[in-house]
Chain A
C-alpha cells in the first residue's frame, strides 16, 4: 500500500524498451526502470523516445507526463485501454446539466474547509492575526454557499477564498516569499513559481487517478468543461491543493529548505525553480501525497493520493446512485 510508483527523469536522454524493462540512456550510461513498480513516468527535461517505446508502456499501463525545461506541463500519454463506460458518461452529462451547481458548491466548500485546517495550524502556533480569515472561512463562506447561486457567483466566492488565503501568507511566511498578487503566467515571484509548479504536479496526479475510474475527464462541474481536455481533474484537484501543494510549500519555505537565492533561477528574477529547487520540491511533494493515515470511513490505511481516486468514486456514486458528494476533508479524514 502507498508504494510510490512514480519515476521522475530530470536529465536529458533517451527512453527505450529493453526486453521487459524501460531503459533510460544519457551521457552517464544506461539506467533500468522495472515496469512492475512503475505507473507514472515524469519527464522534466528533453527526452526522446519512439513509438515502439510508447506501445510498450501503453501495454504496461504506464502514463507518461511531459514537462518542458521550465517546468511547464506539455501533455501526457495514456495507455489506449481506458476504463470507459458509455452509460456513466451519459449520466455524467445529465448530472452536469441538472446538478452542476450542487457539485460546484461541494467543491468550493471543501476548498474553504481544507484551507481553514491548513491555516489553523499557524493560528494555533501563535499567529493570531489569522483569526479574521479563519472566522470568515468558517462562517461566512458557508452562509454564502447556502444561498441560491449562479455558477458565476460560486466562482466569485472561490476566487475570494483563494485571494484571502494568499493575503494571509504575510503572517507566517518569511518576507522574501510573501507575494503581493497571484500571477499565473509567467510566475513573477518565487511563491507564484512554487504554487504553479505544485498545482501542475497535483493536476497530473489527479489525471492519473481519475484515469483509474470510469469518469469522463472532459465533463467538469466547477470549471467549465470548455477549459480543457482534463477539466474534471481541475475540479477534483481543488480540495487537495491546500493540504498537498500548500502544505508542501509552507513546510519547505518555513524550514528554509527552499531559499530564494539558492533554489530559484536568478536570470529570471527568481521566478522559476532551478533544477535543484525542483528536485527538493518534488521530493517533498511525493512524500506528502503518499503520506498514509487511517481513513475514518474505510477503516484502512490510505494516502492522499489514493483519496483523490476515492473522490472520483464519490462522484460516480453521486452520479449513479445520488449519494451525497463531499470531497475529501482533512479534518474528518474521509
Chain B
C-alpha cells in the first residue's frame, strides 16, 4: 500500500483511525460541516481550477522554486503536519526534485500566519522510513488497534464507530 499524507498524519493522531482509514472504513465525511463543504466544492468544481499538484498519490498545496508549501487551517497537530511534509519532500527527492518545506498555519479569525520551515536531512529521513514501516505493520493487522477513549475522540468522526 502506498502511504500518503493522510495516513502518516493519522499515525500521529490515532492508530485506530489509521487502521480504519487504511482499511477503507473511512467515515470522516459524515460530519455536517464536512458534508456541506464537500457539496459546495463538488458543485462548484466545474468552475474552480485547482492549484493543487498531485504526484503519485500525494497532493501538494504549492511548489515554488525553493519550497514545498503546505497550508493548514490550524496547528492542532504540528507533529503530524511535520511528518506529512517530510514525506512529501522525500517523495519529491526520489523524483529528483529537492526542496525545503514551508508550513503555513492560517488560523481562523487571526491575521498573522505562523510559518515553519523544515528540511529533509539524514536523521529525519531515517526516522521517516522507520515510521513508514511501522505504519505498514499496523495497517496490515487483521483487526484495528483497540480504541482508547481520549479527549480528542469527542470530536472525531470515528467516535460512534469506535465506542458503539
Interface residues of A (CB under 8 A from B): 20, 35-36, 56, 59-61, 83-88, 212, 214, 297-298, 306, 309-310, 313-314, 316-317, 320-322
Contact = CB atoms under 8 A, between A and B. Distances in A.
B98 to A, nearest CB: 37
Nearest to A56: B43
A36 B43 CA distance: 12
B25 A85 contact: yes
Given A85-B23, A85-B24, A87-B23, A321 B144 contact: yes
B39 interface: yes
Contact of B164 (A35, A60, A86, A317): A317
Nearest to A311: B164
Given A298-B163, A320-B144, A59 B42 contact: yes
B26 interface: yes
B4 to A, nearest CB: 17
A60 B42 contact: yes
A298 B164 contact: yes
Contacts of A85: 23-25
Contact of A320 (B42, B43, B143, B163): B143
Given A85-B23, A298-B163, A321-B143, A212 B39 contact: no
Contacts of B42: 59-60
A60 B25 contact: no
Contacts of A320: 23, 25, 143-144
Contacts of A59: 39, 42-43
Given A214-B25, A310-B164, A320-B143, A61 B35 contact: yes
A59 B44 CA distance: 10
B6 to A, nearest CB: 16
A83 B26 contact: yes
B117 interface: no
Contacts of B163: 297-298
B43 A20 contact: yes
Contacts of A86: 24
A212 B30 contact: yes
Given A212-B30, A297-B163, A298-B160, A88 B39 contact: no
Top 4 closest A-B pairs, CB basis? A85-B24, A59-B42, A321-B143, A60-B39
A88 B164 contact: no
Nearest to B42: A59
Nearest to B41: A59
B55 interface: no
B158 to A, nearest CB: 10
22 contacts: A36-B36, A36-B39, A59-B43, A60-B39, A61-B38, A61-B39, A84-B24, A85-B24, A86-B24, A87-B24, A88-B24, A214-B25, A297-B163, A298-B160, A298-B164, A309-B160, A310-B160, A320-B23, A320-B25, A320-B144, A321-B143, A322-B143
A87 B24 CA distance: 8
A202 to B, nearest CB: 20
